[in-house]
Protein backbone atom coordinates (compact mmCIF):
# COMPACT_ATOMS: atom_id res chain seq x y z
CA UNK A 1 0.00 0.00 0.00
CA UNK A 2 1.42 3.37 -1.08
CA UNK A 3 1.67 5.97 1.66
CA UNK A 4 -0.18 9.22 0.94
CA UNK A 5 1.93 12.38 0.72
CA UNK A 6 1.50 14.52 3.85
CA UNK A 7 1.36 18.06 2.52
CA UNK A 8 0.34 19.72 5.80
CA UNK A 9 3.94 20.24 7.04
CA UNK A 10 4.74 21.94 3.71
CA UNK A 11 1.73 24.22 4.00
CA UNK A 12 2.57 25.14 7.59
CA UNK A 13 6.30 25.54 6.93
CA UNK A 14 5.93 27.65 3.80
CA UNK A 15 3.19 29.79 5.36
CA UNK A 16 5.28 30.54 8.44
CA UNK A 17 8.46 31.14 6.42
CA UNK A 18 6.86 33.47 3.87
CA UNK A 19 4.99 35.52 6.45
CA UNK A 20 8.02 35.75 8.77
CA UNK A 21 10.23 36.96 5.92
CA UNK A 22 7.70 39.66 5.01
CA UNK A 23 7.41 40.79 8.65
CA UNK A 24 11.20 40.70 9.11
CA UNK A 25 11.57 43.20 6.27
CA UNK A 26 9.83 45.77 8.45
CA UNK A 27 12.64 45.58 11.01
CA UNK A 28 15.74 44.75 8.99
CA UNK A 29 17.98 47.57 7.77
CA UNK A 30 17.64 48.29 4.07
CA UNK A 31 20.36 47.12 1.72
CA UNK A 32 22.32 50.21 0.79
CA UNK A 33 24.01 49.57 -2.50
CA UNK A 34 24.32 51.28 -5.82
CA UNK A 35 22.58 49.50 -8.61
CA UNK A 36 22.08 50.36 -12.24
CA UNK A 37 18.52 49.07 -11.97
CA UNK A 38 15.89 51.55 -10.82
CA UNK A 39 14.14 49.69 -7.99
CA UNK A 40 11.28 52.17 -8.16
CA UNK A 41 10.03 50.14 -11.13
CA UNK A 42 9.34 47.16 -8.85
CA UNK A 43 6.09 48.48 -7.33
CA UNK A 44 4.71 48.83 -10.86
CA UNK A 45 5.88 45.29 -11.63
CA UNK A 46 4.18 44.11 -8.44
CA UNK A 47 0.90 45.71 -9.55
CA UNK A 48 1.19 44.10 -12.98
CA UNK A 49 1.86 40.71 -11.43
CA UNK A 50 -1.11 41.16 -9.09
CA UNK A 51 -3.21 42.00 -12.15
CA UNK A 52 -2.07 38.81 -13.86
CA UNK A 53 -2.91 36.80 -10.74
CA UNK A 54 -6.38 38.35 -10.65
CA UNK A 55 -7.03 37.52 -14.32
CA UNK A 56 -5.65 33.99 -13.96
CA UNK A 57 -7.88 33.37 -10.93
CA UNK A 58 -10.95 34.64 -12.78
CA UNK A 59 -10.08 32.37 -15.70
CA UNK A 60 -9.58 29.41 -13.33
CA UNK A 61 -12.96 30.12 -11.75
CA UNK A 62 -14.61 30.34 -15.16
CA UNK A 63 -13.00 27.05 -16.23
CA UNK A 64 -14.08 25.13 -13.13
CA UNK A 65 -17.64 26.44 -13.49
CA UNK A 66 -17.53 24.98 -17.01
CA UNK A 67 -16.09 21.76 -15.47
CA UNK A 68 -12.89 22.10 -17.48
CA UNK A 69 -10.46 20.76 -14.89
CA UNK A 70 -7.42 20.74 -17.20
CA UNK A 71 -7.62 24.48 -17.93
CA UNK A 72 -8.67 25.21 -14.33
CA UNK A 73 -5.39 23.64 -13.15
CA UNK A 74 -3.39 25.52 -15.78
CA UNK A 75 -4.80 28.86 -14.70
CA UNK A 76 -4.28 28.04 -11.02
CA UNK A 77 -0.64 27.18 -11.76
CA UNK A 78 -0.36 30.46 -13.69
CA UNK A 79 -1.80 32.32 -10.67
CA UNK A 80 0.72 30.65 -8.37
CA UNK A 81 3.52 31.49 -10.79
CA UNK A 82 2.61 35.17 -11.04
CA UNK A 83 2.20 35.26 -7.26
CA UNK A 84 5.64 33.70 -6.77
CA UNK A 85 7.21 36.30 -9.08
CA UNK A 86 5.28 38.99 -7.20
CA UNK A 87 6.67 37.73 -3.90
CA UNK A 88 10.25 37.79 -5.22
CA UNK A 89 9.80 41.31 -6.56
CA UNK A 90 8.04 42.49 -3.39
CA UNK A 91 10.77 41.10 -1.13
CA UNK A 92 13.49 42.57 -3.34
CA UNK A 93 11.92 46.02 -3.30
CA UNK A 94 11.20 46.08 0.42
CA UNK A 95 14.70 44.86 1.26
CA UNK A 96 16.18 47.82 -0.60
CA UNK A 97 13.70 50.70 -0.25
CA UNK A 98 12.20 52.52 2.67
CA UNK A 99 8.44 52.36 3.06
CA UNK A 100 6.49 54.99 1.17
CA UNK A 101 4.01 57.03 3.17
CA UNK A 102 0.59 57.74 1.78
CA UNK A 103 0.10 61.47 1.25
CA UNK A 104 -3.65 61.65 0.80
CA UNK A 105 -5.99 63.17 3.38
CA UNK A 106 -9.57 62.95 4.58
CA UNK A 107 -12.01 60.36 3.34
CA UNK A 108 -9.64 59.13 0.61
CA UNK A 109 -6.97 58.42 3.24
CA UNK A 110 -9.51 56.48 5.29
CA UNK A 111 -10.45 54.42 2.26
CA UNK A 112 -6.79 53.84 1.40
CA UNK A 113 -5.91 52.63 4.91
CA UNK A 114 -9.00 50.39 5.07
CA UNK A 115 -8.03 48.77 1.77
CA UNK A 116 -4.37 48.53 2.81
CA UNK A 117 -5.06 46.96 6.21
CA UNK A 118 -7.57 44.43 4.86
CA UNK A 119 -5.15 43.65 2.02
CA UNK A 120 -2.26 43.01 4.43
CA UNK A 121 -4.28 40.85 6.83
CA UNK A 122 -5.85 38.79 4.07
CA UNK A 123 -2.54 38.47 2.18
CA UNK A 124 -1.06 36.80 5.27
CA UNK A 125 -4.07 34.49 5.52
CA UNK A 126 -4.14 33.64 1.82
CA UNK A 127 -0.72 31.98 1.97
CA UNK A 128 -1.83 28.89 3.94
CA UNK A 129 -5.30 28.91 2.38
CA UNK A 130 -4.00 28.93 -1.21
CA UNK A 131 -1.37 26.28 -0.47
CA UNK A 132 -3.86 24.02 1.33
CA UNK A 133 -6.36 24.45 -1.50
CA UNK A 134 -3.69 23.65 -4.09
CA UNK A 135 -2.44 20.54 -2.33
CA UNK A 136 -5.96 19.24 -1.73
CA UNK A 137 -6.70 19.68 -5.43
CA UNK A 138 -3.48 17.96 -6.48
CA UNK A 139 -4.22 15.09 -4.08
CA UNK A 140 -7.67 14.79 -5.72
CA UNK A 141 -9.42 15.35 -2.40
CA UNK A 142 -12.20 16.96 -4.40
CA UNK A 143 -14.74 17.52 -1.61
CA UNK A 144 -12.16 19.07 0.73
CA UNK A 145 -10.67 21.07 -2.14
CA UNK A 146 -14.05 22.42 -3.22
CA UNK A 147 -14.98 23.35 0.35
CA UNK A 148 -11.85 25.39 1.06
CA UNK A 149 -11.69 26.80 -2.48
CA UNK A 150 -15.03 28.52 -1.88
CA UNK A 151 -13.27 30.55 0.82
CA UNK A 152 -9.85 30.83 -0.83
CA UNK A 153 -10.93 32.03 -4.27
CA UNK A 154 -12.82 35.20 -3.24
CA UNK A 155 -10.15 36.11 -0.67
CA UNK A 156 -7.32 35.62 -3.16
CA UNK A 157 -9.21 37.65 -5.77
CA UNK A 158 -9.67 40.41 -3.18
CA UNK A 159 -5.98 40.38 -2.23
CA UNK A 160 -4.89 40.50 -5.88
CA UNK A 161 -7.28 43.30 -6.79
CA UNK A 162 -6.56 45.40 -3.70
CA UNK A 163 -2.82 45.03 -4.34
CA UNK A 164 -3.37 46.86 -7.62
CA UNK A 165 -5.66 49.45 -5.99
CA UNK A 166 -3.12 50.14 -3.23
CA UNK A 167 -0.43 50.65 -5.87
CA UNK A 168 -2.62 53.03 -7.88
CA UNK A 169 -3.45 55.04 -4.77
CA UNK A 170 0.12 55.31 -3.43
CA UNK A 171 2.03 55.56 -6.73
CA UNK A 172 1.96 59.40 -6.81
CA UNK A 173 3.93 59.38 -3.53
CA UNK A 174 6.86 57.18 -4.62
Domains of the chain, by residue range, sit at: 38-173
Amino acid 29: pLDDT: 84
Amino acid 14: pLDDT: 95
* More reliable by pLDDT, 35 or 138: 138
DSSP secondary-structure letter at 30?
Answer: P
| Contact predicate 125/155, CB 8 Å | yes
Mean pLDDT across the chain, nearest whole number? 94
Instruction: Name the residue among 82, 44, 43, 87 with its Cα closest to residue 60.
Output: 82
3-state secondary structure of 21: helix
pLDDT of 158 strictly over 80: yes
Between vectors from CA 48 to CA 50 and to CA 123, what angle results, nearest 5°?
Answer: 20
| Contact predicate 122/158, CB 8 Å | yes
94-121 pLDDT tens trace: 999 888 999 999 999 999 999 999 999 9
CATH architecture of 38-173: Up-down Bundle (1.20)
Distance (Å, rounded) from C-alpha 142 to C-alpha 133? Answer: 10
Confidence class of residue 5 from pLDDT cuts 50, 70 and 90? confident
Amino acid 28: pLDDT: 85
Amino acid 33: pLDDT: 64
Distance (Å, rounded) from C-alpha 116 to C-alpha 165? Answer: 9
Q: Which of 5-14, 22-31, 139-148 has the lowest mean pLDDT?
A: 22-31
Distance (Å, rounded) from C-alpha 76 to C-alpha 97? Answer: 31
| Contact predicate 15/127, CB 8 Å | yes
* Backbone CA torsion sign across 153, 80, 73, 51: positive
Distance (Å, rounded) from C-alpha 30 to C-alpha 98? Answer: 7
pLDDT of 9 strictly over 90: yes
Q: How far is CA 157 from the centre of its chain?
A: 9
State mean pLDDT over 50-69: 98
Amino acid 4: pLDDT: 84
State mean pLDDT over 159-171: 97
pLDDT of 1 strictly over 80: no
Distance (Å, rounded) from C-alpha 172 to C-alpha 32? Answer: 24
Amino acid sequence: MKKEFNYVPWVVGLSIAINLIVVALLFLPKVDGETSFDIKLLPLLNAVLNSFTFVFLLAALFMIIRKNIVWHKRFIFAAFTSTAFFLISYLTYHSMAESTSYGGEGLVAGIYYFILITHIVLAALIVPLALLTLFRGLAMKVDKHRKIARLTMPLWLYVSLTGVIVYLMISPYY
